[in-house]
């Protein structure tokens, strides 16, 4: 498909999905009313005829949720494409190097041990304690794995992958232990967080998340040419004048920033970072200078649609968004595995 056509279709899909996402839910609001409310709000016009309940639902609840989904989806999509490029493995994703597992462990520890270990921080950070803990967990995990992977001052991708597998197992075991000791209410909170949700979106969280997603989303595409060279192998990339170590550090750092910030507010949302880059490559080719930005856009669209389904399929009950992405992603993952099993080197 022509790249311009792909970008046009995805952007149009984001606009359409955004309008539907803001209008549909337990309380349905016609698209014309949604557009009028948003238009008046942007211009600062006060409409005395406006439905105040609908205005509150759109401005306070659904619009921040839509923006959180767009930001988190973009972060997961571009991070997945970057990690696959740096590992030269089509089945790689941000969780592969333990970032998601570290964020999960920290978040579960905050939920399960808040009254025991984090009482002081809880008073200081309040609602943001969980997000701060998950982000810190992702960052610390990435730092540990990076240091483990260093050999003679240089990060080794194979060692990083193996360290990620070990950290995933360890974090999973500790998460299970804390879950086992949790109270019933804590268990419900842990389970809902681990399955992912955009329900905690507020304008404050959007403002806090924005720089941590925009910076990687803007900077990672500049590594597209280097990742194209990586597809030939690290040695060949070095012969082409690529600073291999610098590229690996930059991609891992920016990907961790994007995933850690998104996961800290949405919980674990699986398969977006894995599937989106595959779909992009099938449609517009394997040039990473286009795969990276296109993955950000498609990830934003996919997560917006998944959240819309999660909120409306059995309304007024809301499903965790991770359930929707897993139901879609798992069969596609198996299809990719079966189709390419002779090509994959894991």
For residue 303, what pLDDT is reported? 94
Mean pLDDT of 305-324: 86
Token pair for 256? 């961790």
Token pair for 48? 């005395």
For residue 210, what pLDDT is reported? 86
d(CA 223, CA 292): 9
Radius of gyration of the chain (CA): 21
d(CA 238, CA 2): 31
d(CA 331, CA 82): 23
d(CA 295, CA 333): 17
User: 279 and 92 in contact (C-beta within 8 Å)?
Assistant: no
CATH class of 3-339: mainly alpha
For residue 48, what pLDDT is reported? 64
Q: 328: pLDDT confidence band, cut at 50, 70 and 90?
A: confident
Token pair for 294? 């296109």
Instruction: Note the pTM of the prediction, 2 decimals.
Output: 0.85
Share the mean pLDDT of the chain. Answer: 82
For residue 213, what pLDDT is reported? 86
d(CA 87, CA 149): 13
pLDDT per position as a tens digit, 2-36: 888 999 999 999 999 998 998 888 788 888 888 88
User: 275 and 84 in contact (C-beta within 8 Å)?
Assistant: no
Q: Where are the domains of the chain?
A: 3-339
Give one DSSP letter per residue of 206-271, joined into a string.
HHHHHHHHHHHHHHGGGGHHHHHHHTT-HHHHHHTT--HHHHHHHHHHHHHHHHHHHHHHH----S
Greatest mean pLDDT range, 7-11, 227-231, 234-238: 7-11
For residue 125, what pLDDT is reported? 61
- 129 versus 282: which is more confidently predicted? 282
Token pair for 18? 């955004």
154 forms beta bridges with 151
DSSP 8-state code for residue 270: -
Q: 346: pLDDT confidence band, cut at 50, 70 and 90?
A: very low
User: 261 and 103 in contact (C-beta within 8 Å)?
Assistant: no
Max distance between CA atoms of the chain, in angstroms, equals: 69
Greatest mean pLDDT range, 17-31, 67-81, 258-272: 67-81
């Amino acid at each position: 498909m022509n790249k311009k056509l792909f970008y046009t279709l995805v952007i149009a899909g984001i606009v359409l999905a955004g309008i539907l996402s803001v209008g549909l839910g337990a309380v349905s609001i016609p698209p014309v009313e949604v557009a009028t409310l948003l238009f008046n709000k942007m211009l600062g016009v006060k409409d005395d005829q406006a439905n105040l309940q609908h205005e509150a639902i759109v401005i306070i609840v659904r619009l921040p949720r839509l923006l959180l989904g767009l930001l988190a989806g973009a972060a997961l999509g571009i991070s997945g494409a970057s990690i696959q490029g740096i590992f030269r493995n089509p089945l790689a994703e941000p969780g592969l190097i333990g970032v998601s597992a570290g964020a999960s462990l920290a978040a579960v520890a905050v939920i399960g041990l808040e009254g025991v270990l984090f009482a002081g921080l809880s008073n200081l950070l309040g609602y943001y304690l969980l997000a701060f803990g998950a982000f810190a967990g992702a960052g610390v995990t990435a730092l540990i794995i990076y240091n483990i992977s260093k050999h003679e001052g240089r990060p080794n991708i194979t060692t990083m992958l193996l360290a990620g597998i070990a950290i995933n197992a360890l974090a999973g075991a500790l998460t299970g232990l804390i879950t086992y000791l949790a109270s019933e209410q804590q268990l419900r909170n842990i389970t809902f967080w681990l399955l992912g949700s955009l329900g905690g979106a507020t304008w404050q969280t959007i403002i806090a998340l924005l720089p941590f997603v925009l910076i990687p989303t803007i900077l990672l595409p500049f590594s597209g040419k280097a990742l194209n060279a990586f597809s030939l192998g690290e040695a060949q990339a070095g012969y082409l004048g690529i600073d291999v170590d610098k590229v690996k550090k930059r991609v891992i750092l920016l990907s961790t920033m994007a995933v850690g910030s998104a996961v800290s507010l949405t919980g674990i949302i699986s398969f977006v970072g894995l599937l989106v880059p595959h779909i992009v490559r099938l449609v517009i080719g394997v040039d990473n200078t286009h795969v990276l930005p296109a993955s950000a856009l498609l990830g934003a669209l996919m997560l917006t649609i998944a959240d819309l389904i999660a909120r409306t399929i059995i309304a007024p009950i809301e499903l965790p968004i991770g359930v929707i992405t897993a139901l879609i992603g798992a069969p596609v993952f198996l299809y990719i595995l079966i189709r390419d099993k002779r090509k994959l080197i894991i």
